[in-house]
Amino acid sequence: MVRYLTRRFVYMFVALFIIISVTFFISKLLPGSPFADPKLTPEVRDQLFEKYGLDEPVYVQYLKYMGNVLQGDLGNSFFFESRPVMQMILTRLPVSMFIGIQAVIFGLILGMVLGTIAALRHNTLWDTLAVVVAIIGVSVPTFVLGPVLQYWLGLKLGLFPIAFFDSYIYSIMPSLALSVFVISTVARFIRTEMLEVMGQDYITLAKAKGLSGLAVIVRHVLRNAMIPLVTVMAPLTIYLITGSLVVEQIFVVPGIGEQFVQSVVVSDYSMILGTTIFFSVMFILALLIQDILYGIIDPRIRVAGAKE
């Protein structure tokens, strides 16, 4: 386990190093410059270039950037009055995290209820209904769902504010829009896993020893059916990252996703670079945690013996 972990960590850092290097050089290759405004006089432009260290040769810039990244400094934004990128990300992160985590909580609870009903009432109308809902939930993208929610819940019914982010109630619709995909994924997973687990001998044993139906379902069926949910973790992280780009755009939520799209629109290269690195770190960590958890939960696939 320790050997596996160290190897994973080394690979992780190599991967991150390459990702950062490639994105850095890509940002150097970009056509145009953030200071291409024709109103700037050459002197002012030179001053700006000097201020951001853009007058130095690329390899010096690269080494400096790498050194700074190691210290958690992602450089300064070209656009927003040279505020540090890291600071901008960190101020925006809590909002995105809050909406994302709330969406996962909605998704887990509703998805488990839906999946459990479908599995317990297998091959009935309830089951079909749950499967249809799950398929629709996976297929309807957030950028269709968002406007629809705004229209029905916000405008027609007036239940929730349509946009911005001032208090808790503003977070409900964005989370709801994000969670539909989570609900569907969790529901499908729980349904298939429960159906499989319910056919196992140990469930028959649990029933035979006189446990009540509810106890069997909660203590034995659900618990074992939840193991494979761990495999959804990495895809879910990607989904929450990319989903935040759309949802925050639609509901005008001041999170990282909205900031990233803005920085792309205004060509704020240092911001794009920094956010990409940040997203990659989150995603790679999620992958790592998923693999470790999987090894802990299911001893059959112990990571130590995974090598062929």
Minimum distance of other proteins from residue 260's CB (angstroms):
8
Minimum distance of other proteins from residue 269's CB (angstroms):
8
CB atoms within 10 A of CB 58: 12
Q: What does the alpha-carbon distance between residue 29 and residue 137 come to, in Å, rounded to a whole number?
A: 40
Shorter beta-carbon distance to other proteins: residue 28 or 50: 28
Q: How many residues belong to the chain?
A: 308
Minimum distance of other proteins from residue 287's CB (angstroms):
8
SS (H, E, C) the chain: CHHHHHHHHHHHHHHHHHHHHHHHHHHHHCCCCCCCCCCCCHHHHHHHHHHCCCCCCHHHHHHHHHHHHHCCCCCECCCCCCCEHHHHHHHHHHHHHHHHHHHHHHHHHHHHHHHHHHHHCCCCHHHHHHHHHHHHHHHCCHHHHHHHHHHHHHHHCCCCCCCCCCCHHHHHHHHHHHHHHHHHHHHHHHHHHHHHHHCCHHHHHHHHCCCCHHHHHHHHHHHHHCHHHHHHHHHHHHHHHHHHHHHHHHCCCCCHHHHHHHHHHCCCHHHHHHHHHHHHHHHHHHHHHHHHHHHHHCHHHCHHHCCC
Shorter beta-carbon distance to other proteins: residue 87 or 242: 242
Shorter beta-carbon distance to other proteins: residue 44 or 151: 151
Minimum distance of other proteins from residue 138's CB (angstroms):
6
Shorter beta-carbon distance to other proteins: residue 151 or 215: 151
Minimum distance of other proteins from residue 284's CB (angstroms):
5
Minimum distance of other proteins from residue 88's CB (angstroms):
17
Shorter beta-carbon distance to other proteins: residue 18 or 44: 18
Shorter beta-carbon distance to other proteins: residue 18 or 304: 18
Minimum distance of other proteins from residue 261's CB (angstroms):
5
Binding site for other proteins (CB under 8 A): 11, 14-16, 18-19, 23, 26, 29-30, 135-136, 138-141, 143-144, 146-148, 150-151, 155, 192, 195-196, 238, 241-242, 245-246, 249-250, 260-261, 264-265, 267, 272, 276, 279-280, 283-284, 287, 308
Minimum distance of other proteins from residue 30's CB (angstroms):
6
Contacts of 259 (CB under 8 A, 6+ apart): 88, 89, 92, 271, 275
Minimum distance of other proteins from residue 192's CB (angstroms):
4
Shorter beta-carbon distance to other proteins: residue 111 or 146: 146
Angstrom CA distances, 150 to 154, 157, 167, 220, 243, stand at 5, 10, 17, 40, 16
Shorter beta-carbon distance to other proteins: residue 7 or 219: 7
Shorter beta-carbon distance to other proteins: residue 89 or 284: 284
